[in-house]
Amino acid sequence: MVFFLLFLIQTFALSGLALGYLASYFLLRTVAYLSPWLPVWMWYGDIGLFLHAVFIASTSTVGIIAVLANKGHALKLCSYILASLLIVEILATVQLATRSYSLDRALYVDLNDSMTTSQQYYSYNISDTQMWDEIQLEVNCCGVISYEDWFTTRYGNGSSVPDSCCLMVTKGCGANIASNSDPGDEIILHGCLPTIMSSVRNDFDYYSHNCMDACCCHSNYSDFYDLLPNKQDENGA
């Protein structure tokens, strides 16, 4: 019975660590990286996921101590809390599954609006200029949907794109690119938004499935067996 309780509670603890890793990954790679463009609800979602992970891991740790110390009241309280957290997690998962398309679409629309607005301040605002140059150089993209988006901005003036759009970046390489009969020889043609959205989807799918499966479902029994207080007695029997 003790072994089963330790196994069950530490599985919860591992799931909390996995969720915390997932939240931290999104915070560092996506949310913080694209913070000027991302909607506020993405921040709330990531922070909520991280806090949920902290509650699971900390409550599970207390539960393990309660099992080893034979504190029935504390164990019961931890069990109620973990059951509540599990229900919240199930409900949240169902909501994400049923509303995945609408959330994906909402993120796309919000990013499109933010990026389009930010484009208008390129070369006029240093933070927007640095953001666009960094994204376009790192992601290998140009504009929001395509390079032609720059033509409608004050910077592009109907014909130019930033130098960070160029295949070989040199000063002035993006000037008057509209007059080029084959701009694909000089600049990147596809926009940043489709690439960013694809990266976000792929990262979420990979880490939400593989990381959770590895950390939660494939736990090693021997790790929990070492926690048993009567292990030496059993070995000596």
Domain ranges of the chain: 2-98+196-222, 106-190
Q: State the average pLDDT for the chain.
A: 80
Task: Give the per-residue pLDDT at 7.
Answer: 67
Give tens-digit pLDDT for 53-109: 888 888 888 888 888 888 888 888 888 888 888 888 778 777 777 887 888 899 899
Entry pTM: 0.72
What secondary structure does DSSP assign to 148-185, as a single string? GGGGGSTTTTTT---GGGBSS--TTTTTTGGG-S-GGG
Torsion sign (Cα): 170, 143, 113, 194: negative
**C-alpha span between 30 and 50 (Å, rounded):** 14
Better-scored residue on pLDDT, 207 or 127: 127
Multiple choice CATH, 106-190, 1.10.1450.10, 3.20.20.10, 1.10.520.10, 1.20.1250.20: 1.10.1450.10
Give tens-digit pLDDT for 199-234: 877 766 665 554 445 444 433 433 433 333 343 344
Least confident range of 29-33, 60-64, 82-86, 135-139? 29-33
Tokens of residue 155, six digits = 């910077």
Task: Give the per-residue pLDDT at 209.
Answer: 59
Residues 6+ apart with CB under 8 A from 131: 36, 37, 118
